[in-house]
Structure formats: C-alpha cells, structure tokens
C-alpha cells in the first residue's frame, strides 16, 4: 500500500473513532428525548454540513475531536428555557448518561474491533522465533548514538562482539545486558538488513543513572502464530482477554505518566505520531490495524474520562459538585473553566503535532 494511502486509511480510522465517540453522546441524548441541535466531527470552520429536522450535522476543518451541541448553550434558541427536554433541565442521572456515553461507545467499539480481528486472523497460538533481536524503533530522543552509527528500525541484530545471540526472548535480554554493562570502547553488532548482513561499531552512551544506552527499542525476533477459531464462544472470550490486556496496559501507562511525567511524556505520541504509526501498519500488516484502532479507541476513552475541563470527565466532575451542593455551580464559573480547558486542550494538540512532526523529521 502506498504511503499516502496508508496515511489516508489512518486518518479515516481516527475519524471513525471520533465519530463513534460523539455518536454515543448523540444517541444517549436523543433516546432520552433530550434536544440536540449540533453534531460535529472536528473543530473550527465548517467544511460540510447538513441541516436535519432538529440537528445540524457538520464536518469541520480541525480534526482534533468533535462535539455534540445542545440548544441550552445558545441564547437565541427558540426553545423555551423551561422546556423539560433541555439538557440542563434533566436530572443529574440523565445528564451523566449522556456525558459518559461517548466513553462507553469507544470501549464497545474497541471490543468489537478485537472480535473482528480474532474472527479474521484467528486465535493467538504461540510465537515462532527466528535468530536475532529486532530493532523495533530507533529513539533519537533517548540517545542519538544508534542513529548516528547507521542502525535502522527493522534491523535484526544477529551477534554482539562476535557472539551469536540465538533466538527467543532470551536473545533480547543478552543484547540488553551486553549494552548496559559495557565499560568502554565500541560494541560490534552483526546486523541483518533486508537480506544483507553488515557489521556496525557503536559506542554506548552512559546516562546519569550509570546505565549505558544506544537509543533503540528491542523486541524478540518472532512472529505470532494464529489458528482459526473453533466456535463463537472462543471468538468472544479471546476478544475479551485481548480487551482486558489493553485496559490493563492503558491503566499502567497512565499510572507511569502520572508517576514520572517528565520521562514518560517524551514517549507519548500525538495525532501526527499516531497517523505515522498507523500508516506504517497499513503498509506492512493490515490485520494489526484492528488491534491498533482498538488501542486508540480505549485511549480516547481513558483520556476523555479524566476529570479535566473540556473533557467528559470534567463535565462529570461538575455534575458531582452539583449533586453534593444541591445546585449547579454558577454558569459564569462553569463557562470560564470550560473555555480555559478547551484553549489548553487545543494548545496541547497543536504542541503534540509540532513535537511529532519534529520527531519524524529527525
């Protein structure tokens, strides 16, 4: 698949995930009879719109999210402020269902994507290992020495200082220890690249913690073997196990980000980085796009449930305060917090785009 086609496929997947999130809000409101006047994918100027009987459907130019609009938010709305079907006039539980429905929709979509993946490619049945260790990624932000020595992603390291590494996960551990415990001088790596073999000398860089690094991410050189599913029960239980693994991974990653923000933040990918990774998958292994899309869908759910302004979690926090106080916070306070939160969120999105672009260029 050409590079441009891969990028378009990934942009389409991101658009689908955002649309499903907003569709969750929209359906939760409409099924409860709550007035909805806007359904938008993206922010900023309108590229396309359709005016339905009650709702305006729009596609906007900044693909960093979307929103569902309610007439409560518009001062010139023809609907009387006392209408019981306005969002603001509904009980807290009704509003909480609408606000949390986007997160629930993303989680349901992630599970369905995993069901589709297992149904198409089968059930994991072990790993078939080959000799060597795979260079999964060259991380120049950690240490530039690997990139400067000519090491590339997808290279396979067969031997270190003349000693074969063997195969399976033990080979990765041997290579890691050889690099981390290296004292001085260059290490010779015997590398296989696209059917050709070459030797590269590299001098590890020792960081402040005393551990030598070369700036690569290592993976065992193996291929996952899958077998066809035997029945529907196996299909859904296997997808459920994969779903549980992704939830656990996301929770662990979020905990690491909170616990060690400075180090973990450098590993976070923004929109451009996600598109680049997904486009590469679309070119090399299209079946893995299902799991990748499921991971991103769960990621969207986790991000949106955080109690931050302009996110679903922030609105749920307002509802919690309202329940404890017996009345909502004043509108000017809520609007001010939400506007600041939206500004910061868009600013973070732009920052991540610039950061991802810089990483790709280097």
Contact 300, 17 (CB under 8 A): yes
Nearest Cα to Cα of residue 247 among 198, 318, 297: 297
**DSSP assigned state of 167:** B
Instruction: Specify whether the CB–CB gap between 49 and 56 falls below 8 A.
Output: yes
Sequence-ordered list of residues with C-beta below 8 angstroms from that of 51, at least 6 positions apart, any chain = 57
Token duo for residue 350 = 């732009």
Apex CA 23: angle with CA 20 and CA 27, to 5°? 140
* Distance of alpha carbon 356 from the chain centroid: 14
3-state secondary structure of 187: strand
Q: What is the torsional sign of CA 66, 70, 74, 76?
A: positive
* CA 361 centroid distance within chain: 21
Catalytically annotated residue among 22, 73, 263, 322 = 22
Annotation marks residue 22 as catalytic = yes
CA dihedral 349, 280, 254, 225 (to 10 degrees): 160
Question: Which pairing describes strands 205-206 and 212-213: parallel, antiparallel, or unpaired?
Answer: antiparallel
The continuous run of DSSP H or E covering 68 comes out as strand 56-69
> Would you please indicate which residues are annotated as catalytic (active-site) residues?
22
């Amino acid at each position: 698949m050409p590079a441009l086609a891969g990028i378009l496929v990934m942009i389409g997947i991101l658009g689908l995930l955002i649309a499903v999130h907003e569709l969750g809000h929209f359906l939760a409101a409409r099924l409860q009879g709550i007035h909805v006047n806007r359904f938008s994918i993206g922010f900023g100027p309108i590229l396309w719109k359709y005016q339905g009987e009650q709702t305006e459907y729009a596609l906007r130019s900044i693909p960093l999210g979307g929103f569902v609009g309610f007439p409560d938010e518009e001062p010139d709305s023809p609907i009387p402020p006392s209408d019981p079907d306005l969002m603001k006039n509904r009980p807290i539980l009704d509003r909480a269902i609408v606000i949390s429905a986007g997160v629930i929709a993303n989680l349901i979509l992630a599970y369905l994507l995993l069901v589709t993946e297992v149904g198409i490619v089968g059930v994991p049945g072990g790993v078939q290992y080959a000799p060597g260790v795979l260079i999964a990624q060259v991380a120049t932000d950690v240490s530039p020495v690997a990139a400067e020595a000519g090491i590339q992603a997808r290279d396979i390291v067969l031997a270190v200082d003349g000693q074969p590494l063997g195969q399976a996960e033990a080979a990765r551990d041997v290579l890691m220890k050889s690099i981390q415990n290296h004292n001085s001088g260059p290490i010779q790596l015997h590398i296989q690249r696209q059917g050709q073999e070459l030797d590269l000398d590299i001098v590890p860089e020792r960081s402040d913690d005393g551990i030598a690094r070369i700036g690569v991410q290592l993976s065992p050189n193996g291929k996952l073997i899958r077998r066809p599913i035997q029945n529907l029960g196996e299909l859904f239980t296997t997808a459920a196990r994969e779903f549980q693994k992704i939830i656990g991974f996301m929770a662990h990653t979020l905990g690491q980000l909170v616990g060690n923000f400075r180090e973990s933040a450098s590993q976070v990918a923004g929109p451009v980085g996600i598109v680049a990774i997904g486009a590469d998958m679309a070119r090399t292994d299209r079946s893995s796009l299902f799991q990748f899309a499921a991971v991103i869908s769960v990621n969207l759910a986790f991000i949106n449930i955080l109690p931050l302004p302009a996110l679903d979690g922030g609105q749920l926090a307002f509802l919690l305060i309202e329940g404890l106080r017996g009345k909502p916070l004043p509108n000017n306070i809520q609007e001010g917090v939400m506007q600041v939160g939206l500004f910061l969120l868009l600013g973070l999105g732009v920052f991540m785009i610039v950061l991802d672009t810089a990483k790709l260029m280097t």
